[in-house]
């Protein structure tokens, strides 16, 4: 099944055989769900080896369902990704996503900085493969860290074919963000709080969304009498933003503008669009739910995976690869409600394609 999926990735997105690709992906997802029921009985080492095979199987395919990796490459090639747009680079412009051709980067300064080396290539294939490899390895790193040698947790993330298709196949930077959150959680569990603060800062400066988790973790730490790494977080944030300012002045603040733009856009799979209800109604519902999560965290349990799952339900701009956010953290939390909701989101978003 994995070999067929990899082959069909290569065929479907070059010849338009989307129906066959979707059918095989649905079949792979059903097999994955059935396998999860047995995963606890499988030795962790075997689970992780199989996870590696699944997540790396799509590296041989071209970009799947999205051109985001080429857009990252285009931003890396610009003199200032927060002032210039992909349309200004003649090498990468033909490959960058049409929706972002005339938009500045919405990604954090940490991601812009680590993407800089990819600018040296003029090959679209080399650029795509670089981001695909980074994404696949980041998924595997997150899988290892959140699992904590628990077979089911490793299988939940690492055996997921939807994750494989959109990260090893699509190269999305959400994998790097989630891996950094996983690093932060692992370091925090080992009492290395300043190093954990560094990882939290970098995660936020790849994509802003982990900011949602920080109040939950802070309240949980207070309830448990656990220290947090304010110094590590602050020093890393200042250093990263200082370097970004030296390179691009304060233009990196413009990354907030695309975020507000996306908040006004909608995808057809987002629940506000699907139900024809006001996005503000969903925002209010999430705010109430988040207050409940804060109270739970104050009693010593930060339900990080559930917070991300509920956020996806409220987002007006919902994309299939966002499912990695709650999936990985549900695995870390061993939160049954978050696991079930994450799997339901995977199934619901599985047919979505965003080019």
**pLDDT tens, 272-324?**
999 999 999 999 999 999 999 999 999 999 999 999 999 999 999 999 999 99
Identify whether the C-beta of residue 293 lies closer than 8 Å to the C-beta of residue 307: yes
What would the pLDDT profile of 129-138 be if each residue is shown by its tens digit? 999 999 999 9
Identify whether the C-beta of residue 197 lies closer than 8 Å to the C-beta of residue 228: yes
Q: Please give the pLDDT value at position 262.
A: 62
Instruction: Answer whether residue 164 shows pLDDT above 50.
Output: yes
Least confident of 2-6, 80-84, 106-110, 159-163: 2-6
Q: Please give the pLDDT value at position 11.
A: 44
More confident residue, 275 or 18: 275
Q: Please give the pLDDT value at position 8.
A: 45
Instruction: Answer whether residue 64 shows pLDDT above 90.
Output: no
Q: Please give the pLDDT value at position 256.
A: 77
Q: Which residues contact 352 (CB under 8 A, 6 or more apart)?
A: 267, 268, 269, 319, 320
Confidence of residue 259 (pLDDT cuts 50, 70, 90): low
**What is the C-alpha to C-alpha distance for residues 22 and 214, in angstroms, rounded to an integer?**
37
Instruction: Answer whether residue 28 shows pLDDT above 80.
Output: yes
- Work out the burial of residue 98: count CB atoms within 10 Å of its CB; fewer than 13 is exposed, 13-18 middle, 19 or more buried: exposed
Tell me what the pLDDT averaged over the chain comes to: 92
What would the pLDDT profile of 122-163 be if each residue is shown by its tens digit? 999 999 999 999 999 999 999 999 999 999 999 999 999 999
Q: Please give the pLDDT value at position 264.
A: 66
Instruction: Answer whether residue 209 shows pLDDT above 60.
Output: yes
Instruction: Answer whether residue 207 shows pLDDT above 60.
Output: yes
pTM: 0.93
Confidence of residue 3 (pLDDT cuts 50, 70, 90): very low
Instruction: Answer whether residue 232 shows pLDDT above 90.
Output: yes
Q: Please give the pLDDT value at position 12.
A: 47
Q: Please give the pLDDT value at position 19.
A: 77
What 3 state SS string does the chain have?
CHHHHHHHHHHHHHHCCHHHHHHHHHHHHHHHHHHHCCHHHCCHHHHHHHHHHHHHHHHHCCCCCCCHHHHHHHHHHCCCCCCCCHHHCCCCCCCCCHHHCCCCCCCCHHHHHHHHHHHHCCCHHHHHHHHHHHHHHHHHHHHHHHHCCCHHHHHHHHCCHHHHHHHCCCCCCHHHHHHHHHHHHHHHHCCCHHHHHHHHHHHHCCCCHHHHCHHHHHHHHHHHCCCCCHHHHHHHHHHHHHHHHHHHHHHHHHHHHHHHHHHHCCCCCCHHHHHCCCHHHHHHHHHHHHHHHHHHHHCCCCCHHHHHHHHHHHCCCCCHHHHHHHHHHHHHHCCHHHHHHHHHHHHHHCCCCCC
Q: Please give the pLDDT value at position 13.
A: 46
Instruction: Answer whether residue 6 shows pLDDT above 70.
Output: no
| Percent of the chain scoring above 70 in pLDDT | 92
**What is the C-alpha to C-alpha distance for residues 72 and 175, in angstroms, rounded to an integer?**
14
Instruction: Answer whether residue 265 shows pLDDT above 90.
Output: no
| Percent of the chain scoring above 90 in pLDDT | 84
Instruction: Answer whether residue 10 shows pLDDT above 80.
Output: no
Instruction: Answer whether residue 16 shows pLDDT above 60.
Output: no
Instruction: Answer whether residue 5 shows pLDDT above 60.
Output: no
**What is the C-alpha to C-alpha distance for residues 256 and 243, in angstroms, rounded to an integer?**
18
Confidence of residue 171 (pLDDT cuts 50, 70, 90): very high
What value does the mean pLDDT take over residues 169-178? 97
What value does the mean pLDDT take over residues 178-205? 97
């Amino acid at each position: 099944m994995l070999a067929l999926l990899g082959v069909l990735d290569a065929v479907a997105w070059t010849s338009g055989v989307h129906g066959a690709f979707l059918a095989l992906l649905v079949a792979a997802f059903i097999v994955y769900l059935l396998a999860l029921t047995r995963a606890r009985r499988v030795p962790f080492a075997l689970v992780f080896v199989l996870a590696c095979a699944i997540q790396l199987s799509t590296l041989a395919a071209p970009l799947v369902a999205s051109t985001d990796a080429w857009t990252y490459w285009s931003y890396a090639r610009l003199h200032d990704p927060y002032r210039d747009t992909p349309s200004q680079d003649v090498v990468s412009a033909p490959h960058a996503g049409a929706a972002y051709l005339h938009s500045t980067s919405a990604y954090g300064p940490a991601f812009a900085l680590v993407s800089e080396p990819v600018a040296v290539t003029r090959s679209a294939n080399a650029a795509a493969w670089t981001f695909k490899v980074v994404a696949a390895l980041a998924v595997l790193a997150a899988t290892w860290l959140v699992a904590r040698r628990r077979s089911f947790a490793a299988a939940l993330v690492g055996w997921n074919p939807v994750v494989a298709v959109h990260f090893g196949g699509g190269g999305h930077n959400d994998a790097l963000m989630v891996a950094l959150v996983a690093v932060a959680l692992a370091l925090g569990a080992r009492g290395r709080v300043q190093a954990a603060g560094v990882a939290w800062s970098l995660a936020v400066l790849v994509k802003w969304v982990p900011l949602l988790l920080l109040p939950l973790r802070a309240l949980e730490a207070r309830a448990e009498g656990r220290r947090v790494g304010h110094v590590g977080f602050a020093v890393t944030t200042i250093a990263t933003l200082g370097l970004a300012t030296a390179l691009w002045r304060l233009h990196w603040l413009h990354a907030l503008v695309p975020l507000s733009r996306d908040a006004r856009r909608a995808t057809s799979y987002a629940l506000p669009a699907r139900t024809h209800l006001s996005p503000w109604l969903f925002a209010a519902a999430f705010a109430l739910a988040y207050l409940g999560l804060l109270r739970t965290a104050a009693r010593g349990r930060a339900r990080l995976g559930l917070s991300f799952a509920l956020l996806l339900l409220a987002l007006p701009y919902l994309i299939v690869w966002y499912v990695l956010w709650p999936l990985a953290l549900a695995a870390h939390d061993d939160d049954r409600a978050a696991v079930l909701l994450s799997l339901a989101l995977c199934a619901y978003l599985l047919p979505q394609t965003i080019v």
